[in-house]
Amino acid sequence: MAAEIIDGKAFAARVRVRVADEVLRLKAAGVNPGLAVVLVGEDPASAVYVRNKGRQTREAGMESFEHRLPADVSEADLLSLIHRLNVDDAVHGILCQLPLPAHVDAAKVLAAVAPAKDVDGFHVSNVGLLGTGQKAMVPCTPLGCLMMLRERLGNLAGLEAVVIGRSNIVGKPMAQLLLGDSCTVTIAHSRTRDIEAVTRRADIVVAAVGRPEMVRGDWIKPGATVIDVGINRAAGTGGKDRLLGDCHFESCAEVAGAITPVPGGVGPMTIACLLANTVTAACRANGLAEPEGLTA
């Protein structure tokens, strides 16, 4: 194996330390950063995410407000909670855990979150700000990928980047962020012709597809940096699931200069960036200097 393994767990731990330092600075200025997480229903995976988010928020010294609503909550009641959180000065970030039950219009709920508190970066205002190169709240997963790329590669200007996947949550914002750092960006998707050849041009490959081990070593340019966002569950030994990325790790690691593993790569960065976004939102809300290195 030639590639350096990018340790997302260790990186995320360093981000959380930086966040905790910033929280102390904010508290010294009289601001107590707070994150509200809204969970609707009993989806077990969502409940685990929400628990982890709450724990890490408190460990960073921030206030965590958890709102658990029954699966049959009406859309009106959910919207009214979001409106209350929007005007609550103790809350600097609001995250509504997806997926929402089918009877709730998720787009309507995400649009109801005040853009300044939209720490997920999904509100169309933030999408527009990011797309026009202005200060936005940036979606957590692509922000984490950008931080890892900057740390490994320094200045990204002029590098060829291929983002595989064009979702609103990962692919598109990732491409915008790389463009913002002056990469030459290609977005590949299910209709891309000769995706192997397109990917082989890239100094930076970000795979966000949801297809286990789709990207093979012979798609990778020697020395490229490979960021694997994919989380795919496959049957493992002893009846336990194992997680696979969108990249075939062994063959890609033979060729790449650096690669993120799955698990332990991008995954841990997502919550760390949620905390970073909450600190950024608290700074902006109070006219304080934003932390360096925690935003795009």
Whether 120 is catalytic is yes
Whether 172 is catalytic is no
Q: How many residues bind ligand NDP (CB under 6 A)?
A: 24
Using rule CB under 6 A, residue 164 touches ligand NDP: yes
Contacts of 128 (CB under 8 A, 6+ apart): none
Using rule CB under 6 A, residue 167 touches ligand NDP: yes
Using rule CB under 6 A, residue 195 touches ligand NDP: yes
Whether 97 is catalytic is yes
Site string for ligand NDP, 196-215 (x = CB under 6 A): ------------xxxx----
**Burial bucket for residue 248 (CB in 10 Å: 0-12, 13-18, 19+):** buried
Using rule CB under 6 A, residue 231 touches ligand NDP: yes
Rounded to a whole number of angstroms, the minimum distance from the CB of residue 279 to ligand NDP is 19
Catalytic position from the list 117, 118, 120, 181:
120
Residue number, 33 or 230, with CB nearest to ligand NDP: 230
What tokens appear for 161 in the block?
């980047």
Nearest residue to 278 via CA among 5, 71, 16: 16
What tokens appear for 178 in the block?
């790389």
Cα–Cα distance between 124 and 285 in angstroms, integer?
A: 19
Using rule CB under 6 A, residue 176 touches ligand NDP: no
Torsion of CA 254, 258, 261, 266, to 10 degrees: -150
Residue 211: alpha-carbon gap to chain centroid: 18
Nearest residue to 274 via CA among 98, 10, 41, 19: 19
Interface segment toward ligand NDP; rule CB under 6 A; list 15-23, 35-43, 116-124, 229-237: 229-237
Site string for ligand NDP, 123-152 (x = CB under 6 A): ------------------x-----------
Rounded to a whole number of angstroms, the minimum distance from the CB of residue 293 to ligand NDP is 20
Enumerate the active-site residues. 53, 97, 120
